[in-house]
């Protein structure tokens, strides 16, 4: 199974443009499956839905959460679908295995007041503080994913038009607008970007780390955690929280859900709905102002 697994991971990396985090997770999930099959002396071609249910049942006995089990099953389905596409299997046994029902997880988000204060935390100073300000402003202004942000190149940015080209899942490109505040912060960073010593003069990444190479997703997460510690916010806030805040704030101010779907780069409207949050008071206000018989 090792050879097939490596080919599948290479396919994810080069053809599906999957993130390093996704590839790492899939490697762990499939390695667990390979160990399970090896322990029972089951060949890859002999795997059926009963075998896969047994694998998930064993993980359940080890207190694996439903959401983790669902993710592992999704990885296994994708793997067997790849083998089917290659002609190495005649069927995808994972399709007959039901996905464990999970509780709907609502991503964390910041209120408009909290976001305002948070964006003011990076103070003018060295180039890295100016960079941090630009990252946070652009994140919130565009609603892009963390992987999309760190993948931005200089050529993808148009400050004049306030538009950004990002490459999302599956190498799909989309154009995303951003506002004046983000444009000002990014322009301020670009004026100082040349001050960062670069390992290569040809470095095309928009956001650089202190070594002059493309900033890593983990570095952005650490940077955000550093600023959150300076606030009174005690709940978990991640780069994904800014994406959710972007969607929630647009919706609360009257934006159409399908417009938000396009901005976020979601294929399904159901996915977008998870990112939105309106309390009962907001819903009632919108209803009373909008419904002709209210």
Name the active-site residue from 72, 133, 249, 266.
266
Options 1.10.3720.10, 3.40.50.2300, 1.10.443.10, 3.40.50.300; CATH for 112-287 is 1.10.443.10
On the question of pLDDT at 198 being above 90, the answer is no
Q: Answer with the residue of higher pLDDT: 156 or 203.
A: 156
pLDDT at residue 254 in the model: 77
Tokens describing residue 279: 């309390």
Instruction: Supply the pLDDT for residue 78.
Output: 93
**Residue 200 Cα distances to 134, 152, 194, 211, 263, angstroms:** 22, 17, 12, 10, 33
pLDDT at 35 over 60: yes
pLDDT band at 139 (very low <50, low <70, confident <90, very high): very high
pLDDT in tens, 205-243: 999 998 899 999 999 999 999 998 988 888 888 888 888
Catalytic residue among 133, 243, 244, 249: 243
Q: Among 71, 140, 275, 277, which one carries the catalytic annotation?
A: 275
Fold topology of 2-96: DNA polymerase; domain 1 (1.10.150)
More confident residue, 92 or 252: 92
User: Is 26 part of the annotated catalytic residue set?
Assistant: no
Interval 114-135 mean pLDDT:
91
Residue among 145, 193, 244, 277 flagged as catalytic? 145
Enumerate the β-bridge partners of residue 205. 153
The more confidently predicted of residues 185 and 15 is: 185
Q: Does the annotation count 277 as an active-site position?
A: no
281 pLDDT tier (thresholds 50, 70, 90): low
Model-wide pTM > 0.85: no
For the segment 36-79, what is each residue's pLDDT rounded down to a tens digit? 999 999 898 899 999 999 988 888 888 888 878 888 899 999 99
Beta strands in the chain (DSSP E): 157-158, 163-167, 173-177
pLDDT above 60: residue 120: yes
212 and 203 Cβ atoms separated by less than 8 Å: yes
For residues 34 and 45, the answer to whether their CB atoms sit within 8 Å is no
**Mean pLDDT of all residues in the chain?**
85
Neighbours of 148 (CB within 10 A): 23
The domain locations on the chain are 2-96, 112-287
Task: For residue range 9-20, list pLDDT tens digits in order.
Answer: 999 888 887 888
State the catalytic residue, choosing from 16, 117, 169, 214: 169
Active site residue 105: no
* The token pair that represents 51 in the structure block: 């075998």
Q: Is 167 a catalytic residue?
A: no
Which pLDDT score, from 0 to 100, does residue 200 have?
A: 72
pLDDT above 70 coverage of the chain, percent: 88
Q: What share of the chain is helix, strand, coil (3-state, %, to 5)?
A: 60, 5, 35
How many other C-beta atoms are found inside a 10 Å radius of the C-beta of residue 208?
Answer: 20
Catalytic residue among 167, 214, 240, 274: 240
Reported for 247-255, long-range contacts at CB under 8 A and 24+ positions apart, including other chains, are 247/143, 247/272, 247/275, 247/276, 248/109, 248/275, 248/276, 248/277, 248/278, 249/112, 249/115, 250/143, 251/276, 251/278, 252/278, 252/282, 254/286
Q: Distances in Å between the alpha carbon of 188 and those of 120, 124, 141, 153, 182?
A: 15, 10, 16, 17, 10
Q: Catalytic: 266?
A: yes
């Amino acid at each position: 199974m090792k050879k097939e697994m490596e080919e599948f991971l290479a396919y994810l990396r080069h053809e599906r443009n999957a993130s390093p985090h996704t590839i790492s997770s899939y490697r762990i999930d499939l390695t667990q499956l390979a160990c399970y099959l090896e322990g029972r002396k089951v060949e890859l071609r002999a795997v059926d839905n009963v075998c896969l249910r047994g694998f998930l049942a064993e993980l359940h006995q080890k207190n694996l959460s439903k959401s983790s089990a669902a993710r592992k099953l999704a990885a296994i389905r994708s793997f067997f679908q790849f083998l089917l596409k290659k002609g190495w299997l005649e069927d995808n046994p994972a399709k007959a295995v039901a996905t464990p029902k999970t509780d709907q997880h609502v991503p964390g988000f910041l209120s408009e007041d909290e976001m305002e204060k948070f964006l003011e935390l990076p103070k003018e100073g060295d180039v890295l503080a100016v960079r941090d300000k630009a990252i946070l402003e652009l994140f919130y202004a565009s609603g892009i994913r963390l992987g999309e942000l760190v993948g931005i190149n200089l050529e993808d940015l148009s400050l004049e038009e306030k538009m950004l080209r990002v490459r999302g899942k599956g190498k799909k490109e989309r154009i995303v607008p951003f506002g004046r505040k983000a444009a000002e912060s990014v322009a301020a960073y670009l004026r100082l970007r040349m001050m960062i010593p670069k390992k290569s003069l040809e470095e095309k990444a928009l956001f650089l780390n202190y070594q002059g190479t493309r900033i890593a997703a983990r570095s952005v997460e650490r940077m955000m955690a550093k600023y959150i510690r300076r606030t009174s916010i005690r709940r978990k806030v991640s780069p994904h929280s800014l994406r959710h805040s972007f969607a929630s704030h647009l919706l609360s101010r009257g934006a159409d859900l399908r417009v938000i779907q396009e901005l976020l780069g979601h294929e399904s409207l159901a996915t977008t709905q998870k990112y939105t949050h309106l309390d009962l008071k907001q819903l009632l206000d919108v209803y009373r102002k909008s419904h002709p018989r209210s």
